[in-house]
């Protein structure tokens, strides 16, 4: 049976827990001990009539008992043990967890579980407890119809139009119908509107006792009556025989499935009762007549939803069928009739749609997955009301309620029926004067769903909050009592907290600036000028200022009292500055006085800051400076004439604060709370005992299977394997074969699994002690010739490689070659010795050496050989440096340049003779003035020609060029600073005059040296932009002599020119250098 779809069965047979398929296989033999419909027992009492009726309708022979520790909750007695529904459902969830872990290849702990829509608070909490017992972290519960709706909408787009669909779900025991609307909602993300799909559950209806099993029971009763008539068993009711009914239920399910595709189907049961077989058949028409009431009930929830929501067939975009029971053709016809002949849709997988939707919901709750956004709005199926059972209000509390506060109501609608989930609700109570505050929760029975199935009373919880009197003693008021509740996606309502919210007043110190009269201001100014380092705060130490401060304080108090009397006057100034501003400015509005007071404070702060800055400046320049004192006094006089003088004052002002004091919550609490304490510990121990027993069982099964497999394999090898026969004698084989037969007989006839797995492990080891040596000799006999042949070929190859090293790898020394040749000889000698020793052994004897020994020794030698064979060739020695006489010549030329700074030869030799603006003049020498530029061009050209000849002979290194550039880098900034604007103008004029002369000189140079042909062409723009001349004349100077690496030297010459250029021409120099580098 595929574990993709497993039966939700759990049982205990002989103290062993059976789950899923294993329980299904034992259901016929032990019908009282294999439990089905365990989920329907959650949250119900043992005397619940709906539970008793459920077992009778489905022929389930279970014995229900009341759990005394849990106020009569239903439990099932199996043999001598009693198990709670949470333990049974927890076992099924543990089985599902095992399947998931086997598929995932790792531990699985987080889970989302689907529950029927009709589950109330008690049933949902019981499911959460079952998940806890199974070791699962319950991320949430989701209604079955919501999960299916999520699976339907996740791949569809509703941007163009919304859709309204009906989901019809018929399972094995229940039927649900949900009305769902799909639409879109818009949110802003990164300032842009984004549109996402969403689903909204509008209505849900159900029949909690109608499912596909009812059709099975209809067929089973029909065939049971027929069997009694045929077998002539008067007085025997087969429906009351658990084993007979278990056999019949299993067969009629197959018959029902066949009728969905055929007009008739057989029913055959072997030894149904008293050793008698049963054979019969039924047509589809007879079956539909037999189950006519069922099909009428099946359409009822659909009709109720249509009537409540005033739907017409054209208002419904789709009617999706899910659940195994929805495959019955007559059921589909009944639903179509209820919809006015409208067709039905089957776009969802009937068996897996709910599970897939729950998986999407779980992925959305998890942080390990990221899904596309999809809105989901589910509803509460039952309303919950809150009752205030005991509330003590203070005298006149009703009259003293704050504006907008709710009057006290004894009963409030806490969680309305069909309210969106998740939801947070807060109930606020004003005027509570004493402990305790008692309140209770109950279902709102005025809705059409009434109470959840199996719930006899509407009461849910009873709470008592204390601590109100302590709050009153501390704050002189109880404030507002807040009862905070939360209903999550799971539909579970929880009391979050109860707290008293109190607003109280505290006095805080505030520093303000208060205006003073002219006399006090004059005295303050005198003190400020005579006291060294003093400020306005120090002035308040005088007697006159103390009186003024006291008067101001009185005014402040009077103003504050007036403010307190005038309740609700938001425009009053808390600092008392409003009256003082009115005294200075005249009669104004109180709001304007407040604004002016604030402006005065800011201006006073600025004046204080200005005064402090003036004092700091006076201290820095000397306290005895009469001029500074006079200026300060004048400034003070001007300031005092335009702005009133102020003093700094500390006052106490009231401030409103809010305190949230949690209250202690007691009472009975939830009438059916989560498992906790000893009850939870005992249930955990029950399941842990099952898990440990199953681990032992698996170990025993594995050990037994290993022993059985070894016996079968070795017996076959001894008979058919030629190698095994070669490496063993006939006597050895006969002895081993007899031992294997004895162990096989013991395994099948005498082995007792109750003694544990160790007995099988011991017997397996004894057989391996005999059989493994034979098996190992056979493997050695097969592998030995192949390995020896391979090793000898490798030896010959390596010997030839070592002999060729002298020619192919001369850097391997002679000692290393001799050492490696010696090692090769030793390996070959050892191999010869091993082969000779093995030739003296028979095949059934232990070999002289093992294949592993040869392979290990060869691997060790092979690593040493490869290490030497991969030895790298050493690098060649570096080439000698250029001759010393060439270096001396280069140094002499550099010295000559350093000494002749005023001559044009230096500038031209370095390639810097013609520089932009001031640089050109600096290259010619400061002594020659305006004529230096022409000298630099004429003399510098000759010096440059001589330098090129010297460089060509000596091949001066780059190091000497760097030395030549250093003095020019230091001189360039100094010469640039010395130049004035007049020199620049004169230089430009002389450049124009000498342009013709420069062209003539360039023609002479061209005749002597070819690369200089480009220089006169590039010098032409010197009249407008002389800065570009220097780089243009450098190109032929650098390219011609530097034959070794002209590309590397060019950038080095250009780098310092970027620094020398400076000013406005940096960008032009950079762009020129870039182009030059590309050309090079």
| Phi, psi of 1032, deg, nearest 5 | -70, -30
pLDDT tens, position by position, 526-552: 343 333 333 333 333 344 444 444 455
The residue among 217 and 900 whose pLDDT is bigger is 217
Same domain, 171 and 75: no
The mean-pLDDT minimum among 417-431, 709-723, 737-751, 1053-1067 falls in: 1053-1067
As a whole number, mean pLDDT of residues 339-361 equals 93
- In angstroms, rounded to a whole number, what is the distance separating the alpha carbons of residues 1078 and 1080? 5
Inside any domain, residue 894: yes
Same domain, 920 and 1060: yes
As a whole number, mean pLDDT of residues 477-487 equals 90
pTM of the model: 0.66
Same domain, 191 and 317: yes
CA distances from 902 to 899, 918, 967, 997 (A): 8, 15, 13, 21
Same domain, 268 and 160: yes
**Paired tokens of 666:** 């007691």
Q: Where does the pLDDT of residue 514 fall: very low under 50, low under 70, confident under 90, or very high at 90 and above?
A: confident
pLDDT of 446 reads: 87
pLDDT of 884 reads: 52
* Helix count and strand count (H, E) for the chain: 35, 25
pLDDT of 45 reads: 92
User: Hey, what's the torsion of the CAs at 222, 223, 228, 230, to 10 degrees?
Assistant: 120
pLDDT at residue 683 above 50?
Answer: yes
pLDDT of 531 reads: 36
pLDDT of 996 reads: 57
Same domain, 1075 and 1019: yes
As a whole number, mean pLDDT of residues 209-229 equals 93
DSSP character string of 431-493? -EEEEEEEEEEEEETTSTT-SPTT----EEEEEEEE-HHHHHHHHSS--EEEEEEEE-TT--E
pLDDT of 9 reads: 95
Same domain, 286 and 324: yes
Same domain, 941 and 1048: yes
As a whole number, mean pLDDT of residues 247-259 equals 94
Domain containing 411: what range? 380-504
Inside any domain, residue 623: no
pLDDT of 617 reads: 42
Q: Which among 479, 504, 529 is the end of a domain?
A: 504
pLDDT at residue 19 above 70?
Answer: yes
Q: Where does the pLDDT of residue 389 fall: very low under 50, low under 70, confident under 90, or very high at 90 and above?
A: confident
* Residue 180 burial by Cβ neighbours in a 10 Å radius (0-12, 13-18, 19+): buried
Q: Where does the pLDDT of residue 695 fall: very low under 50, low under 70, confident under 90, or very high at 90 and above?
A: very high
pLDDT of 404 reads: 52
pLDDT of 1003 reads: 53
pLDDT tens, position by position, 625-634: 433 434 444 4
Q: Where does the pLDDT of residue 576 fall: very low under 50, low under 70, confident under 90, or very high at 90 and above?
A: very low
As a whole number, mean pLDDT of residues 1022-1043 equals 42
pLDDT tens, position by position, 265-289: 999 999 999 889 999 999 999 999 9
The mean-pLDDT minimum among 7-11, 346-350, 952-956 falls in: 952-956
SS3 string, 937-964, reads HHHHHHHHHHHHHHHHHHCCCHHHHHHH
Same domain, 1047 and 1022: yes
As a whole number, mean pLDDT of residues 434-462 equals 91
pLDDT of 999 reads: 59
The domain that contains 438 carries what CATH number? 2.60.34.10
Inside any domain, residue 301: yes
pLDDT of 168 reads: 97
Same domain, 737 and 781: yes
Q: Where does the pLDDT of residue 982 fall: very low under 50, low under 70, confident under 90, or very high at 90 and above?
A: low
**Paired tokens of 397:** 């509390």
CA distances from 700 to 45, 752, 773 (A): 40, 10, 27
Inside any domain, residue 991: yes
Average pLDDT value over all residues in the chain: 77
Inside any domain, residue 164: yes
CA distances from 806 to 811, 812, 813, 817, 934 (A): 8, 8, 8, 8, 70
As a whole number, mean pLDDT of residues 577-585 equals 38
pLDDT tens, position by position, 876-905: 888 877 755 544 444 444 444 434 343 333
As a whole number, mean pLDDT of residues 173-189 equals 95
Same domain, 742 and 722: yes
Q: Where does the pLDDT of residue 616 fall: very low under 50, low under 70, confident under 90, or very high at 90 and above?
A: very low
Q: Which among 461, 477, 504 is the end of a domain?
A: 504
pLDDT of 908 reads: 38
As a whole number, mean pLDDT of residues 572-592 equals 38
pLDDT of 649 reads: 84
| Phi, psi of 673, deg, nearest 5 | -80, 175
Same domain, 853 and 988: no
The domain that contains 277 carries what CATH number? 3.30.420.40
pLDDT of 559 reads: 59
Percentage of the residues of the chain whose pLDDT score is greater than 90: 52
- Strands of the sheet with 175-189, listed across from one edge: 318-322, 163-170, 175-189, 192-207, 374-379, 420-421
Quick one: residue 323, left, alpha or beta (phi over 0 = left, psi -120 to 50 = alpha)?
A: left
As a whole number, mean pLDDT of residues 126-141 equals 96
pLDDT of 647 reads: 83
- In angstroms, rounded to a whole number, what is the distance separating the alpha carbons of residues 689 and 322? 38
Same domain, 841 and 926: no
pLDDT of 71 reads: 83
**Paired tokens of 576:** 């008392």
pLDDT tens, position by position, 720-745: 999 999 999 999 999 999 999 999 99
Percentage of the residues of the chain whose pLDDT score is greater than 70: 68
Q: Where does the pLDDT of residue 558 fall: very low under 50, low under 70, confident under 90, or very high at 90 and above?
A: low
The mean-pLDDT minimum among 303-317, 362-376, 489-503, 873-887 falls in: 873-887
Q: Which among 350, 379, 408 is the end of a domain?
A: 379
CA distances from 664 to 661, 738, 905 (A): 10, 79, 101
The mean-pLDDT minimum among 114-128, 186-200, 949-963, 989-1003 falls in: 949-963
pLDDT of 987 reads: 64
The mean-pLDDT minimum among 19-33, 737-751, 866-880, 963-977 falls in: 963-977
Inside any domain, residue 1054: yes
pLDDT at residue 353 above 70?
Answer: yes
Q: Where does the pLDDT of residue 334 fall: very low under 50, low under 70, confident under 90, or very high at 90 and above?
A: very high
The residue among 326 and 602 whose pLDDT is bigger is 326
Residue 929 CB neighbours (<10 A): 14
pLDDT at residue 585 above 50?
Answer: no
pLDDT of 1078 reads: 41
CA distances from 877 to 125, 839, 870, 880 (A): 86, 57, 21, 9
pLDDT tens, position by position, 704-713: 999 999 999 9
User: Hey, what's the torsion of the CAs at 728, 731, 736, 739, to 10 degrees?
Assistant: 180
Inside any domain, residue 878: no
Q: Where does the pLDDT of residue 434 fall: very low under 50, low under 70, confident under 90, or very high at 90 and above?
A: confident
As a whole number, mean pLDDT of residues 306-335 equals 94
Residues 6+ apart with CB under 8 A from 1051: 1073, 1077
Inside any domain, residue 12: yes
Give how many domains the chain has, as a whole number.
5
């Amino acid at each position: 049976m595929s574990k993709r779809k497993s039966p939700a069965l759990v049982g205990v047979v002989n103290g062993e827990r059976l789950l899923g398929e294993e329980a299904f296989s034992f259901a016929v033999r032990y019908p009282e001990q294999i439990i089905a419909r365990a989920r329907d027992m959650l949250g119900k009492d043992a005397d619940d009539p709906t539970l008793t009726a459920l077992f009778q309708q489905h022929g389930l022979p279970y014995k229900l008992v009341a759990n005394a520790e849990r106020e009569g909750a239903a439990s099932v007695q199996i043999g001598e043990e009693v198990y709670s529904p949470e333990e049974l459902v927890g076992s099924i969830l543990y089985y599902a967890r095992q399947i998931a872990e086997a598929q995932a290849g790792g531990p699985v702990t987080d889970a989302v579980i689907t529950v029927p829509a009709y589950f109330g608070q008690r049933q949902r909490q019981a499911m959460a407890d079952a998940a806890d017992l199974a070791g699962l972290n319950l991320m949430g519960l989701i209604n079955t119809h919501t999960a299916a709706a999520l699976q339907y909408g996740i791949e569809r787009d509703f941007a163009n139009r919304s859709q309204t669909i009906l989901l019809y779900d018929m399972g094995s025991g229940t039927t649900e119908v949900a009305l769902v609307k799909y639409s879109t909602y818009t949110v802003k993300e990164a300032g842009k509107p984004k549109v996402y799909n969403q689903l909204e559950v509008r209505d849900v209806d159900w029949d909690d006792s109608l499912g596909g099993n009812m059709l099975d029971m209809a067929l089973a009763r029909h065939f049971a009556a027929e069997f009694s008539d045929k077998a002539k068993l008067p007085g025997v009711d087969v429906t009351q025989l658990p084993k007979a009914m278990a056999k019949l239920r299993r067969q009629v399910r197959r018959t029902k499935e066949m009728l969905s595709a055929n007009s008739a189907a057989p029913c055959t049961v072997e030894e149904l009762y008293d050793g008698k077989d049963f054979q019969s058949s039924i047509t589809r028409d007879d079956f539909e007549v037999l189950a006519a009431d069922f099909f009428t009930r099946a359409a009822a929830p659909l009709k109720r939803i249509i009537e409540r929501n005033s739907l017409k067939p054209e208002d419904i975009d789709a009617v999706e069928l899910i659940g195994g029971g929805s495959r019955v053709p007559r059921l589909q016809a009944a639903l179509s009739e209820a919809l006015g002949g409208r067709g039905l849709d089957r776009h969802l997988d009937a068996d897996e749609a709910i599970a897939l939707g729950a998986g999407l919901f779980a992925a959305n709750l998890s942080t390990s997955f990221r899904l596309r956004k999809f809105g989901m709005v589910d509803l509460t199926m039952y309303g919950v009301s809150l009752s205030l059972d005991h509330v003590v209000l203070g005298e006149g509390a009703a009259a003293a309620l704050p504006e907008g506060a709710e009057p006290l109501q004894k009963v409030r609608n806490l969680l309305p029926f069909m309210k969106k989930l998740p939801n947070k609700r807060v109930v606020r109570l004003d005027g509570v004067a004493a402990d305790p505050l008692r309140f209770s929760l109950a279902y709102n029975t005025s809705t059409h769903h009434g109470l959840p199935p199996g719930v006899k009373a509407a009461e849910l919880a009873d709470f008592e909050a204390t601590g109100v009197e302590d709050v009153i003693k501390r704050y002189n008021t109880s404030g507002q009592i807040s009862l905070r509740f939360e209903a999550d996606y799971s539909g579970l309502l929880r009391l979050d907290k109860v707290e008293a919210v109190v607003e109280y007043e505290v006095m805080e110190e505030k520093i303000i600036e208060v205006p003073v009269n002219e006399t006090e201001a004059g005295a303050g100014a005198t003190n400020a000028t005579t006291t060294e380092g003093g400020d306005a705060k120090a002035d308040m130490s005088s007697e006159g200022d103390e009186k003024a401060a006291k008067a101001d304080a009185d005014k402040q108090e009077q103003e504050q009292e007036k403010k307190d009397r005038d309740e609700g006057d938001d425009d009053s100034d808390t600092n008392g500055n409003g009256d003082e501003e009115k005294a200075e400015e005249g009669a104004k509005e109180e709001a304007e006085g407040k604004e002016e007071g604030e402006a005065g404070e800011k201006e006073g702060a600025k004046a204080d800051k200005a005064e402090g800055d003036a004092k700091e400046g006076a201290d820095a320049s000397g306290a005895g400076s009469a001029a500074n004192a006079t200026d300060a006094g004048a400034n003070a006089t001007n300031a005092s004439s335009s702005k009133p003088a102020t003093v700094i004052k500390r006052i106490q002002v009231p401030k409103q604060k809010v305190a949230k004091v949690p209250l202690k919550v007691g009472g009975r609490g939830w009438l059916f709370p989560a498992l906790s304490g000893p009850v939870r510990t005992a249930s955990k121990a029950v399941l842990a005992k099952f898990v440990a027993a199953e681990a032992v069982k698996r170990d025993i099964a594995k050990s037994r299977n290993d022993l059985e497999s070894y016996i079968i394999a070795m017996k076959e090898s001894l008979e058919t394997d030629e190698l095994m026969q070669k490496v063993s004698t006939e006597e050895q084989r006969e002895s081993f074969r007899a031992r294997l037969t004895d162990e096989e007989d013991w395994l099948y006839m005498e082995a007792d699994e109750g003694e544990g797995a160790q007995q099988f492990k011991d017997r397996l080891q004894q057989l391996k002690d005999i059989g493994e040596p034979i098996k190992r000799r056979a493997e050695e006999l097969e592998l030995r010739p192949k390995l020896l042949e391979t090793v000898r070929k490798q030896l010959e190859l390596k010997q030839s490689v070592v002999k060729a090293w002298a020619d192919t790898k001369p850097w391997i020394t002679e000692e290393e070659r001799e050492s490696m040749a010696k090692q090769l000889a030793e390996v070959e000698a050892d191999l010869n010795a091993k082969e000779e020793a093995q030739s003296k052994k028979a095949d059934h004897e232990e070999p002289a050496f093992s294949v592993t020994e040869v392979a290990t020794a060869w691997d060790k030698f092979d690593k040493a050989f490869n290490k030497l064979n991969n030895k790298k060739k050493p690098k060649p020695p570096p080439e000698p440096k250029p001759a010393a006489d060439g270096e001396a010549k280069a140094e002499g030329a550099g010295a000559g340049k350093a000494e002749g700074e005023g001559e044009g030869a230096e500038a031209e030799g370095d390639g810097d003779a013609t520089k932009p603006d001031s640089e050109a003049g600096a290259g010619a020498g400061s002594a020659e003035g305006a004529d230096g530029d022409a000298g630099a061009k004429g003399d510098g050209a000759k010096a440059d020609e001589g330098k090129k000849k010297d460089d060509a002979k000596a091949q001066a290194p780059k190091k000497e060029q760097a030395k030549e550039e250093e003095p020019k880098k230091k001189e360039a900034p100094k010469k640039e600073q010395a130049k004035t604007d007049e020199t620049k103008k004169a230089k430009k004029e002389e450049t124009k005059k000498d342009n013709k002369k420069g062209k003539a000189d360039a023609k002479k140079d061209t005749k002597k040296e070819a690369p200089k042909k480009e220089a006169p062409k590039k010098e032409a723009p010197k009249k407008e932009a002389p800065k570009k001349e220097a780089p243009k004349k450098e190109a032929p100077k650098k390219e011609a002599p530097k034959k070794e690496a002209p590309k590397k030297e060019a950038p080095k010459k250009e780098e310092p020119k970027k620094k020398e250029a400076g000013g406005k021409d940096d960008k032009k120099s950079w762009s020129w250098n870039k182009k030059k580098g590309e050309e090079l």
